[in-house]
Structure 1
């Protein structure tokens, strides 16, 4: 069977496909900013040559015998997917953000392959590509694989790099009885985690839980230095992801206080993405990640203590089966009627207030049609009742932080975005003064090693 003509669609990807709602589109919005001359016809020809190596970019979602599948679009035309726009003036960050915020409100037509690129040129040198991709095609890790395949590692423009093949894995021989016992233990833990998540009480009720509107804000921080974040993480025996989550928690605490909210009663909870994909399988696209419920340290005023608490929470969850449980939940909902899927989704998303994701981009500069890719960023979509999402993307030594916020839940998105930048600065200053000693990390408590059961069932910040 030719995979470019027909392929089954996983039930997990089908869940993402059906999550599209009028007030919450399940679309990954990204922007690629280039330096150099634009030859639009050459650029579109390059994209036409490289992107269809992935079957999903020439296929639409259909049903055969009641099962979802991918089928080739007989009317596929690259000109409907890569379009050109000329701006009258040289754009700055604010004007560019305003331009693609308007684009983000439009759903991708389901009768076509679920992606679109708008090439935006201005009077100055350089251009930008607003790349919109439905989440059912892939996740952040898969998107990075696509962008690496689409671009070159030098300004010498040539044919597409070879598509990475499936790596060969050595399979250990396991006693069948032991393997069966391992499976039983794994699925019992998955079931236990799903039960705990279902019974988890909602987090602090703030305006972050207001009903969704149709107005959205898409904002960017000026690029941050990746080396600075690494230094902060190293001083505290933490990870870059811990630093990122702690900075968002600090910003949310201050923002909510400025909005008159009482933040000391209970924690604000975040849904943090957790990658479960084998990197060698990224070319297969699809969605291979789970979501973990993290009580953000929004009740804590001290920046270094916020980072310590985040590190403890994240280490506990990594030792649990919660990421696999949420990925299994998304697979399960793909088999259910859409009405029931939406109901379960609302129940689960009511447990938290914000989504956080961390995407690792290329470490070296990339080029497309001879132009240098200077910056890249993406905005994470939200589902159910959630309307606020933070994303961190690394690229060529820089960190780009973005915010996607519903106006009803975040009335002053620029202020919240500015507070995130200030939170990174506070963490850098605080950890410089309180650098962790060069010793091994504090051992995980027994309850954390058991799967963070106590943390999840309590629903409070440690």
Structure 2
């Protein structure tokens, strides 16, 4: 149901394209185009979704499925463009925005690869674009890795909470033992644990619902969007981020969200707005993917809705508040509650669920103003046809009246922020990117003075 919801949300707003993507900046010289097409065509065969297309039923009688495309042709999916001189970030980001604002053709497998030449220093890039109905962030990263020379290797995804959970199943707890008293004790503990988890999810779902229905502070970050997009990116050293984590005893996600908070505060002030305490309710997707499902291509995410403290001017206090609020959100059951809602929707007749999604996505909402999603990337450097991948820049979509969206990815020794924004309402997207970099540097500088 979660996969199909991205199709329904896209259908509800003609101004959005719900594709996700990533730009890989690669050392030159670029290979011969035909050689690249041939290599990607061969590698795509090992990824089922790359050669499958949507199969839908009339009148929403059932959820869409995937069928092999009998006419699959790699030339429909790999395209070749060159940047105008000087080929710097401005030209690259403009090209990325243009490509991502176009919807994918649902008559074919829902992905594209754009080979982009003309970057400075003889470099080139690939932009892989995949519809969100196919995969979430971690699954998308796995797909992209399979298009590289070495395939999907070790990733930072093993560090996420869901991947590390090894809770025993109820069936294992109910395994018969020789001592009936001990067996009955296991049954009781399993029942109590299941009841406690259900209560936790119900409380979390209620909290999420209350926050979605609340009318938070009006903000220029929220409102209708146009068809056109802007894109920008921020790049920092992963070692600097980890140093801040150690010195303040926080997580990498805490540091990233604190940097985003600081930059949004600066943006709102520059727009003449007062960043109040309820100005930045943020949708933070949370992976529900266990380690043994990294290779499964689908969406397995839940969500939290923390308030980022844009009303706080001090960067250290911002970080402390972000850490506290995320810890509270994790403990409140928001993650489990959102997952329970999605699971419950999956048990409804698809026609009813599809109708509900279309209705809800058409309604204007003012409670959530930003998206911030963190995707663990490859630990080691990737190569494409023998060339080193220097940077990976993530590309999130925007929808649901969110005029900006930020995706983050850790890759080797780098941490990057990719920002998608509505063209008309967010002309200052580059300033938002620079503000993130400045905020990380500021926190690192505070560390050295401590």
TM-score of the superposition, structure 1-length normalised?
0.83
- Structure 2 matches for 1:181-330, cutoff 5 A? 181-200=192-211, 201-221=214-234, 223-264=235-276, 266-330=278-342
Secondary structure of 2:305 counterpart: strand
Unaligned runs of 5+ in 1: 1-10, 154-159, 435-462
1:14 lines up with 2:30 in the alignment? no
Q: State the aligned residue count.
A: 413
Cα shift at 1:24: 2.2
Query: Residue 46 of structure 1 corresponds to which residue in structure 2?
Result: 39
C-alpha separation in 1, matches of 2:345 and 2:231:
29
Secondary structure of 1:45 counterpart: helix
Cα shift at 1:88: 5.4
8 Å contact from structure 1 (residues 24, 387) kept in 2: no
C-alpha separation in 1, matches of 2:7 and 2:374:
22
Cα shift at 1:333: 4.8
| Structure 1 residues 74-110: Cα deviation after superposition (integer angstroms, max 9, x where no partner) | 1111110012224454521111111111111110011
- The range that moved more, 275-284 or 225-234, is 275-284
Residues 54 and 324 of structure 1, relative CA distance in 2, 3 Å threshold: farther
Query: Residue 163 of structure 2 corresponds to which residue in structure 1?
Result: none
Residues 404 and 364 of structure 1, relative CA distance in 2, 3 Å threshold: same
Query: Residue 173 of structure 2 corresponds to which residue in structure 1?
Result: 174
Residues 171 and 45 of structure 1, relative CA distance in 2, 3 Å threshold: farther
Secondary structure of 2:64 counterpart: strand
Of 101, 105, 110, the match for 2:101: 105
> By percentage of residues, which structure has more helix?
2
- Structure 2 matches for 1:325-336, cutoff 5 A? 325-333=337-345, 335=350, 336=352
- The range that moved more, 299-308 or 405-414, is 405-414
Query: Residue 63 of structure 2 corresponds to which residue in structure 1?
Result: 67
C-alpha separation in 2, matches of 1:16 and 1:207:
25
Query: Residue 356 of structure 1 corresponds to which residue in structure 2?
Result: 372
C-alpha separation in 2, matches of 1:251 and 1:433:
22
- The range that moved more, 390-399 or 181-190, is 181-190
| Structure 1 residues 320-344: Cα deviation after superposition (integer angstroms, max 9, x where no partner) | 3212322343455563343421333
Query: Residue 380 of structure 1 corresponds to which residue in structure 2?
Result: 396
8 Å contact from structure 2 (residues 364, 401) kept in 1: no
| Structure 1 residues 221-248: Cα deviation after superposition (integer angstroms, max 9, x where no partner) | 2x31110111111110001110100111
C-alpha separation in 1, matches of 2:19 and 2:340:
21
Query: Residue 151 of structure 1 corresponds to which residue in structure 2?
Result: 148
1:404 lines up with 2:420 in the alignment? yes
8 Å contact from structure 1 (residues 232, 432) kept in 2: no
Residues 12 and 198 of structure 1, relative CA distance in 2, 3 Å threshold: same
| Structure 1 residues 396-419: Cα deviation after superposition (integer angstroms, max 9, x where no partner) | 201112211113442422222222
8 Å contact from structure 2 (residues 83, 92) kept in 1: no
TM-score of the superposition, structure 2-length normalised?
0.85
Secondary structure of 1:61 counterpart: strand
C-alpha separation in 2, matches of 1:163 and 1:58:
25
- The range that moved more, 91-100 or 238-247, is 91-100
Secondary structure of 1:249 counterpart: helix
8 Å contact from structure 1 (residues 15, 331) kept in 2: no
Secondary structure of 2:313 counterpart: coil
C-alpha separation in 2, matches of 1:347 and 1:87:
39
1:420 lines up with 2:421 in the alignment? no
Residues 295 and 347 of structure 1, relative CA distance in 2, 3 Å threshold: farther
Cα shift at 1:54: 2.0
Cα shift at 1:203: 2.7
Secondary structure of 1:295 counterpart: coil
C-alpha separation in 2, matches of 1:181 and 1:60:
44
8 Å contact from structure 1 (residues 203, 353) kept in 2: no
